[in-house]
Amino acid sequence: MQGSPHEAEPHSLRFEVTQARTSTPHGLLLRILDGAQGAASRDVGYKYAEVAAYNTMGKRQVIEVLDTDDEARDRASAIEGDFGTMTVEEWCDRYGIPPSFVTG
């Protein structure tokens, strides 16, 4: 009889989305002017939306960085769904997370 992939392993993760936001007025100006390619690099003055997982020890691991909050919410839902249906090893391989992060 086969149950949930996580029945034998009582490990769990909590998934959260960090919303995108402008970190400086200068960065906002660069993003507005970014019509000319390369006027603002991806990391200048803007914080992108992130999907992160927290393990049982409270450690945080960013899984994906996305352009918008909506994309991040959609991806967080998909990532959490995968965690519930895949084995820990499969999930870690798919998302590039060390298994030790999940297993403690």
Domain limits, the chain:
14-103
Predicted local confidence at residue 7, as pLDDT: 38
Q: How confident is the model at residue 9 (pLDDT cuts 50, 70, 90)?
A: very low
- Joined tokens for residue 77: 């839902």
Tens digits of residue pLDDT in 65-84: 988 899 999 999 999 999 99
pLDDT higher than 90, residue 53: yes
Long-range contacts of 80-86 (CB under 8 A, 24+ apart): 80/15, 83/13, 83/15, 84/4, 84/6, 85/5, 86/5
Tens digits of residue pLDDT in 21-42: 765 666 656 656 655 444 445 5
Predicted local confidence at residue 99, as pLDDT: 93
